Each structure stands twice: as structure tokens, then as C-alpha cells.
Amino acid sequence: MLKFGGAADPDAHPKTPHRVYATVHHDYEVSPAPDDMAAEQSINASWAIREAVVVLSAAGVASPRVDAEILTAHVLGMSRSKLPLAPALDPTQAARLRDLVDARARRVPLQHLTGVAGFHHIEVAVGPGVFVPRPETELLVEWGLSVFEDGEGTVVDLCSGSGAIALAVAAARPAARVYAVERDPAALEWLRRNAAGSGVQVVAGEVTDPGLLADLDGAVDLVLCNPPYVPAGTPVPPEVARFDPYPAVFSGADGLDLIRGLVPRVARLLRPGGWFGVEHDDTHGEAVPGLLRADGRFGEIADHRDLAGRPRFATAQRR
């Protein structure tokens, strides 16, 4: 059991039952706070954040300060930027924050605890059963918007997951016809929830299926895709290993199984002059452009780096 300002103590309060904390969309079982932390008193928000940082740092969380601030803001129902003006946490809020910090220290994804993931200029609901969108994928969206400036045409988001890419494009280009394709039943539930009322058309299907969206063959202006691409056996952070769906992360021994099958389907969907952008592993900076060249139907092939300077996505134009 993790506690503010201390290390794990598995023997503390052995007879006290665990409690279940309900997040926005799902439950997580957490150990009860020790008596000294359950005191019926208000807690200064700055102090609570400092103590949360200690706990999260000890647990190996990559961004302990950011996560502590986001969780505190979530409990207080305010934006992170307003935290300098935050009131003290009342006893109920303090207990809720302790529960959230304890869960985050056990590497439950931050976005599962808040129930949402920020992406581009939108938020999407996320939780167990769907891949949490990553900030680096925003670069793929920005590229897509740059080649789809007039915004009047058809866009397809393959391996849509939560729908983050499709919804970001739809928000930025409201005149576009946007399709979001996903095959996994659990992810589809999140996708349908996020897409409700957005105008994005959700399609249940396998992205390599030759019959997928056959009525759009040769008419699509832009295809974007963040597929599974991590080579099997690659070490990944606990948040990914324990909570992201395996099929949304890994794709065969070299990580290219799905992308190989995807390229010919995309070539048939795109109109001449249409664009394709696909995210890939940072070891695929030559392999994915090579697959696009080998297909023979693409030109203007390029690879792009993320903010850390690593190969991150490839783009091409249909001839």
C-alpha cells in the first residue's frame, strides 16, 4: 500500500477491508489510507501535490509532478492552470486524491483515472479496452490537416480505437466526411460513445479486408492510421503492458504485420493525388517507406520524426 510521504507497507492495517473507488467510467480496488492520512481535516492543495509527487516518483511514474497536478485538478473540478488559486481539499476530496494517487502509483494510466485523454484540441473518453491516444500522434494529425486544407472531401481513420484521430480531423475540418474504422468490440464501444453527435461515421471492420468501404474505392482524399506496430517481445512501460489492449500495441515479430496488409487496401481507397499517413515504430523509419515504394502506387514518400527526433510516421501520395 502506498501512502503520501512514505514507502510501500504491505503489512499496514491487514484487517482493514479494501475499498473500491469509482472513477468516471470504471472501478479500481485500492487499499485504504492509513489512519493518520484519514484525519477529518482540510489539506492545502500545494501540500497534497508535493506529497503526491513523492509517492509517484518512488513508483517510477515518468511525469510525477504533471500527474499529481492533473489528479489534484481533477478532484477539485478545475483546470490545471487554475491550481495556484485552488482552495484546500476537504476531507472527502483528500481521500479521493489519495485513492487516485495510490492507483497511479500502481501504474494505472492517468487517463483511466480521469476518464479522458486530451488529444489535439479535443478530449476523448478512454478506459479499459481501448488504446490511450499519445501526444506524438498529434503530429500525424497536423500533417494530415496540412494536406487537407480545403476540408471538403473524404477522410478515413483506420485502426481508430477511441476515435481520437477521426474526431480531431472532424473538429478541424467540419465540412469533411470522416469515417472511423475499428474491429475490436471493446474499442468500438468507446469509439461509438466518443463519436456520438460528431458526424463521424463509425465502421466496424477489419482494415485489411478488401471489401472494407468498397463504395469509397478511388474516392478518398486522406487516410490516416495509427496501427499496432510494436515488435512482439519489446519491453514496454507497465501502463502499456497491463492496460493497453495487446492487439492495439503489438503486430508480429517485426511490428509490421498489419502495416504490410494495410498498404494495398489504402492504395485502392485513395483517389489519384490522395494522401496517406501512417504512424510506426521508431525502428521503422526505413521499413515503412520501403513498403510504400514496393507497392508501386505511391509517390512523394517521406518519413517524419517526432519531437524527440525519432522516426515516427510515414506519408505518401497516391499516383
**Helix 64-76 crosses helix 45-58 at what angle (to 10 degrees)?**
140
- Check 119, 131, 243, 276 and give the catalytic one: 131
- Percent residues over pLDDT 90 in the chain: 87
Give residue 50's pLDDT. Answer: 98
**Rounded to 10 degrees, what is the CA torsion of 4, 7, 13, 19?**
50
| Long-range CB contacts for residues 3-7, cutoff 8 Å, separation at least 24 | 3/33, 3/34, 3/37, 3/55, 3/98, 3/102, 4/37, 4/48, 4/51, 4/52, 4/54, 4/55, 4/98, 4/101, 5/51, 5/54, 5/55, 7/58
Give residue 256's pLDDT. Answer: 99
Backbone conformation region of residue 256, classed left if phi is above 0, alpha if psi is from -120 to 50, else beta: alpha
**Phi, psi dihedrals of residue 97, rounded to the nearest 5°:** -65, -40
Interval 11-49: pLDDT, tens: 333 333 333 434 444 454 443 444 444 445 789 999 999
Average pLDDT over residues 266-282: 99
Can you name the residues that pair with 117 across neighbouring β-strands?
Answer: 124
- Check 32, 109, 194, 226 and give the catalytic one: 226
Q: Could you tell me how many helices (H) and strands (E) the chain has, helices first? A: 10, 11
Give residue 16's pLDDT. Answer: 32
How far apart, in whole angstroms, are the C-alpha atoms of residue 113 and residue 109? 7
Total residues found in the chain within this entry: 319
Q: Annotated binding site for substrate, which residues?
A: 226-229
Can you name the residues that pair with 12 across neighbouring β-strands?
Answer: none
Domain architecture of the chain: domains with CATH: 19-113 (1.10.8.10), 117-318 (3.40.50.150)
Interval 216-261: pLDDT, tens: 999 999 999 999 999 999 999 999 999 999 999 999 999 999 999 9
Kindly report the pTM of this predicted structure: 0.87
Interval 291-314: pLDDT, tens: 999 999 999 999 999 999 999 999
**Residue 44 annotated among the catalytic residues of the structure:** no
Average pLDDT over residues 81-86: 97
Contact partners, residue 146, CB within 8 Å, separation at least 6: none
Give residue 250's pLDDT. Answer: 99
CA angle 111, 173, 273 (to 5 degrees): 110
Average pLDDT over residues 138-151: 98
Give residue 234's pLDDT. Answer: 98
Instruction: Determine which of 4-13, 90-99, 106-115, 278-287 has the lowest per-residue pLDDT on average.
Output: 4-13
**Residue 227 annotated among the catalytic residues of the structure:** yes
Instruction: Kindly give the pairing relationship between strand 116-119 and strand 201-204.
Output: unpaired
CA 227 to chain centre: 12
**Residue 119 annotated among the catalytic residues of the structure:** no
Specify burial of residue 217 (Cβ count, 10 A radius: 0-12, 13-18, 19+).
Answer: middle
Can you name the residues that pair with 278 across neighbouring β-strands?
Answer: 225, 314
77's grid cell: 473540478
Name the nearest CA neighbour of 4 among 38, 28, 27, 29.
Answer: 38
